[in-house]
Structure 1
Amino acid sequence: MSFQAPLFLLGLAVVPIAIVALLLARRRPSRYVIRFPATATLAAVAPRHGRVRKHLPPALLMLALAGMAVALARPEATVAVPVERASVMLVTDTSGSMNATDVTPNRLTAAKQAADRFLDRVPDQLQVGLVAFADSAHTVLRPTQDRTVVKSTLDGLQAEGGTATGDALTSALQALETGKDKPPAAIVLLSDGASKTGQDPAAVAQQARAANVPIYTVALGTSDGVIETMGQRLSVPPDPEALQQVADISGGRAFTAEDSGALDEVYETLGSRIGTKQEKREVSAGFAAFGLLALAGAAFTSLRWRGRLP
């Protein structure tokens, strides 16, 4: 938290000074001594919450002074706010290796489920598009705020074929509005293997960097991943090094996910990064309201219990 007028925080010094003054005033001996012979009777009928009634009004008054001093200093808090017209393209690998079951229930199903939850987390103002690819980019959905369309397209994806990562990234860039004075955009690439065909992903990452579109990559799967094809078991480990290179070149960030839980964490992190920006917002009103409520409480309790203001 920061303050626009921090000098007003010096007003907080009034609180300990007032507390010391109150304690000194209460320690002064009474000017008159009154004899009351029925002390035992008085103790029996006197209320037992006298200590609370004695200390609560001045305590509330001190809190009111502190709240007002902080409010005058105009505190600011950093909060995440939606970015107007921001867009993100989800680029999802649907090659045959996504049938591997090292990620429960299999890589593609886990990816679709995590993407669904990602769509639920990001701001409503964020436009989301989709590119699904195998030997080529076979599904391209331009950015939209209609989450139903994106989710239904995700649900229909099936895993088969090779991996053309570079072609998919090119399709994602073409679907985005990029260039000077265009709204912010990003690409989330989820893949589980090395690019086997099409354009060089590193070269496309250079284009993304020039267009100011960071690529966040997610390497899905484990080194133990295998698939059954043509009666053979083929090892299909992910290629995090290649995806790391794409992320570094484009100015994004690389993640790895070896299970569905880790994939959810990655998408949750991305959901807080994409479509929002950090801004400082003044929160003086909250402290002023707290101070006024505390002041009203001090006045009410003092008048109710003591017949005068604190």
Structure 2
Amino acid sequence: MTLSSPFLLVVGLFVTAALAWAAVVTARRRTALLARAGAGVTGGRPYLGVGLTVAGVGVLALATAGPAAMVPVPRTAGTVILAIDVSNSMGADDVAPTRLAAAQRAARAFVAAQPDSVDIGVVAFERGALTTARPDADHSVALKAIDRLKITGGTSLGTAITASLSAITGKQVAIGRDGDTPDIGYWPSATIVIFSDGQNRGADVEPAATLAQRANVHIHTVGVGTTAGTTVKVDGYHLQTSLEEDTLTLIAQTTGGAYHPASDAARLDGIADTIDLRLTVSDEPLPLAGGLIALAVLLLTAGAALTVLRSGRVI
């Protein structure tokens, strides 16, 4: 238990002790006077009312000190990085109006659904990932970053993961040429959500996912597009593009996250409800003053009532 004003408790206990001492002295004098007069004290517990009154004052003294109990409270908290694919294939319109526009809408809905206890950052990725908004409790920063996203370049899911880990840790994270992964520590309250069609250039996906798994960072992947696919125009050429779920599923399974297929706009709109973030348990103060004041009033009322009833009797 914690106290916001320990000094008030000291003063209150001093007053309570003084009242208790005065009550004891008065009771002894009264008993002595009755003994000299040849009378006895009747009623079994003649000083119960006084005792309850003193106890009420003591409880009230504790209440004025602002006591609070620390209780464990589970809540959604931590850091979430939204990694959004902005490669050329995300301009395909098999998810209306385009894959990127649908992913942006889903990402905005995801941000809107998160409590203030979650810091959200945004990473746009193609061949070279770019952190467009660092993790922040001000979710408007993430929303503005999402709105600024434009189509450019090719896809590198491995780079998306390492850039997201860089945003989480606050330092540059990279996979070595031989696939070696650095030690980035342990980040159990961090989550990455990747919005992508799964088309990937580069062989660093598996080591990047393993690095996230070793740091206990869960990655949820959201597949944007259809397996039937469509064509997209790039530099004057029409290229076939379709949703590749295998890589996205591998990333999610490796890191303890989940793959969320979203082949149409309606499923993307509801994606925020399907992604489970970390539940952390933190100790938060539970004020006890209200309950103690109620108990003090009860004791004082009972003490006053007993005192009045007994003082009206002939002893």
What TM-score results when the alignment is normalised by the length of structure 2? 0.58
Are 2:264 and 1:259 aligned? yes
> Residue 228 of structure 1 aligns with which residue?
233
> Residue 47 of structure 1 aligns with which residue?
none
Measure the CA separation in 2 of the matches of 1:113 and 1:95: 17
> Residue 99 of structure 1 aligns with which residue?
91
Match of 2:213 among 205, 209, 212: 209
Match of 2:277 among 269, 274, 279: 274
Measure the CA separation in 2 of the matches of 1:218 and 1:114: 10
Measure the CA separation in 2 of the matches of 1:83 and 1:258: 28
The answer on whether the counterparts of 1:123 and 1:276 sit within 8 Å (CA) in structure 2 is no
The answer on whether the counterparts of 2:110 and 2:271 sit within 8 Å (CA) in structure 1 is no
Measure the CA separation in 1 of the matches of 2:212 and 2:166: 10
Q: Which structure 2 segments of 5+ residues have no match?
A: 1-72, 170-183, 283-315
Measure the CA separation in 1 of the matches of 2:281 and 2:95: 34
The answer on whether the counterparts of 1:208 and 1:250 sit within 8 Å (CA) in structure 2 is yes
Return the offset for 1:266: 2.2
The answer on whether the counterparts of 2:106 and 2:270 sit within 8 Å (CA) in structure 1 is no
Larger radius of gyration: 2
Measure the CA separation in 1 of the matches of 2:118 and 2:85: 22
> Residue 13 of structure 1 aligns with which residue?
none
Are 2:161 and 1:169 aligned? yes
Q: SS state of the match for residue 176, structure 1?
A: helix
Match of 1:90 among 82, 87, 99: 82
Measure the CA separation in 1 of the matches of 2:235 and 2:125: 22
Q: Which amino acid aligns with 2:198?
A: G
Are 2:227 and 1:219 aligned? no
> Residue 126 of structure 1 aligns with which residue?
118
Kindly provide the CA deviation profile for residues 22-47 of structure 1, in whole angstroms up to 9, marking residues without a partner as x: xxxxxxxxxxxxxxxxxxxxxxxxxx
Note the aligned Cα RMSD (angstroms): 2.1
Aligned counterparts, 1:40-189, within 5 A = 81-84=74-77, 86-177=78-169, 179-180=185-186, 182=187, 184-189=189-194
Return the offset for 1:81: 4.5
The answer on whether the counterparts of 2:132 and 2:145 sit within 8 Å (CA) in structure 1 is no
Measure the CA separation in 1 of the matches of 2:110 and 2:281: 19
Change (3 A) 1:227 1:99: same
Q: Which structure 1 segments of 5+ residues have no match?
A: 1-79, 280-310
Change (3 A) 1:140 1:155: closer
> Residue 199 of structure 2 aligns with which residue?
194
Measure the CA separation in 2 of the matches of 1:187 and 1:210: 14
Matched-pair identity in %: 35
Measure the CA separation in 1 of the matches of 2:91 and 2:166: 28
Q: SS state of the match for residue 274, structure 2?
A: helix
Return the offset for 1:165: 1.1
Q: SS state of the match for residue 270, structure 2?
A: helix
Q: Which amino acid aligns with 1:83?
A: T
Which deviates more, 208-217 or 261-270? 261-270
Kindly provide the CA deviation profile for residues 194-223 of structure 1, in whole angstroms up to 9, marking residues without a partner as x: 2113x5111111011110001101111012
Q: Which amino acid aligns with 1:221?
A: G
Kindly provide the CA deviation profile for residues 227-271 of structure 1, in whole angstroms up to 9, marking residues without a partner as x: 12344321110110011111111111111111111112222211x
The answer on whether the counterparts of 1:244 and 1:253 sit within 8 Å (CA) in structure 2 is yes
Q: Which amino acid aligns with 2:154?
A: G
The answer on whether the counterparts of 2:225 and 2:262 sit within 8 Å (CA) in structure 1 is yes
Pairs aligned (count): 195
Give the ranges of 4+ consecutive aligned residues of structure 1 lying more than 6 Å apart after TM superposition.
none
